[in-house]
Amino acid sequence: MEIQNLYEPFEIEFLEMKECPIHAHKHNFFELVYIVEGTGVQCINKNRLPYAPEKLFLLMPQDCHAFEVKTVTKFFFIRFNDIYLKTQSKEWIQKLEFIFQNNTHLPGCIIKNKTDKPLVKAMIDALIREHINQQYYHREVVKQIVNTLLTIVARNISMHIPLKENVKTNTSLDIINYIHQNIYSADKLKAEQIAQRFHISPTYISEYFKKLTGENLQQYIIDYKLKLIETRLRYSDLRMNEIAFEFGFTDESHLTRTFKKHKGVSPSEFRKHVNSKKRNSVAA
C-alpha cells in the first residue's frame, strides 16, 4: 500500500485523468477532492460510491482510497497537514472541531446543504483561476478561500451528525448543540445553567438528558471535551497548561488526572504515542 506524504504545509493541484485509475493509497494529511468534470467511482475504506461533477469529498489521514475513472475527469485537490493547522488561529480551529471529531463520516459528497453547493462551486472556480493565473498574492488569496471552504465543510458535517437511534426529540439535539457550542465555557456547562437554558428543573436535567439520549449528561460533556483535547494533542503543539486553561481545568495536574482516568494514559503519553506513529509512518 502506497503512503503519500505532504512536504509543504499546504498544497493544491488541478489534475485531468482519462481512463487510468488513481490506485488505492493512504496519506498522512487531510485532503479535499472536488470533481470539476467527469464520472467514475470513489473507493474509500472498502466502500464504493459513484462520483459526478460538483461532488466534494473529505479524506482523512490514513483513509484508504482510490478513484476509478470512467469518463475523463478533472479533479481539484486541496491538501493540508497538521503544520498548516498550527499556523491558524485558535478561534478558526475551534470552528472546525466537527471535522476532526466526526471523521467516521459516511463516504460520499460532504456537502449536504443544497444552498452551500453553488457557494462551494464558486469558491472552487476561484481557486482554479488563482492556481492557473498565479497573480501577485495568489497564495494568500488561496489560503483565505480554502479557510472559508473548510468552514463550509465543518458546517455541513455539524448539520448532519447521525444521532443515536434513541435520540428522538429536537430538545435533545438542542442540548447537544448547546454543549458543543459552549464546551470552552465551564460555567455554561453546569447542570443548573443547562436546566435554566432549556426550562427544565435542575434536579431533573440529568435524568431527562439520559432518558432522551441514553447517556449521562456530565459524562457526555467530559467525553466530548476529551475528544477535543485529543485533537489538540494530535494537531497542535500547545503546551499542557495552555490546553488545561482553554478547557477550564484548574491546572495541568487537573487535566492530567482527568485524561488518565478516562483514557488510561496521560496527555503527554498520548501525544508521544501519536508523534511516534507519525514518524514511523513517514519512515515506512
User: Does some domain include residue 221?
Assistant: yes
Answer whether residue 282 shows pLDDT above 90: no
Tell me, yes or no, whether 26 and 150 share the same domain: yes
Tell me, yes or no, whether 149 and 10 share the same domain: yes
Answer whether residue 29 shows pLDDT above 80: no
Number of Cβ within a 10 Å radius of residue 202: 13
User: Does some domain include residue 164?
Assistant: no
- 53 Cβ contact partners less than 8 Å away, ≥ 6 residues apart: 35, 36, 37, 38, 39
Mean pLDDT computed over 255-261: 96
Tell me, yes or no, whether 206 and 122 share the same domain: no
User: Does some domain include residue 256?
Assistant: yes
User: Does some domain include residue 165?
Assistant: no
Concatenate the DSSP letters of all residues of 214-232 into one string: SS-HHHHHHHHHHHHHHHH
Tell me, what CATH number does 19's domain have? 2.60.120.10
Tell me, yes or no, whether 155 and 175 share the same domain: no
Tell me, yes or no, whether 37 and 147 share the same domain: yes
Tell me, yes or no, whether 110 and 206 share the same domain: no
Number of Cβ within a 10 Å radius of residue 204: 12
Tell me, yes or no, whether 39 and 104 share the same domain: yes
Q: Using the 3D structure, point to which of 140, 159, 178 is the last residue of a domain.
A: 159
Mean pLDDT computed over 81-91: 67
Tell me, yes or no, whether 203 and 147 share the same domain: no
Tell me, yes or no, whether 120 and 36 share the same domain: yes
Answer whether residue 5 shows pLDDT above 60: no
**Cell numbers at 147, concatenated:** 479557510
**CB of 251 within 8 A of CB of 245?**
no
Q: Which pLDDT score is estimated for 43?
A: 83
Q: Using the 3D structure, point to which of 159, 194, 227 is the last residue of a domain.
A: 159
- 77 Cβ contact partners less than 8 Å away, ≥ 6 residues apart: 11, 12, 13, 14, 15, 31, 32, 33, 34
Q: What percent of the chain has pLDDT over 90?
A: 34
Tell me, yes or no, whether 15 and 67 share the same domain: yes
- In this prediction, residue 10 has a pLDDT band, given cuts at 50, 70 and 90, of confident
Tell me, yes or no, whether 182 and 250 share the same domain: yes
Q: How many domains does the chain have?
A: 2
pLDDT in tens, 135-179: 888 888 988 998 889 888 888 877 665 544 444 455 676 788 788
Query: What is the span of the domain harbouring residue 93?
Result: 2-159
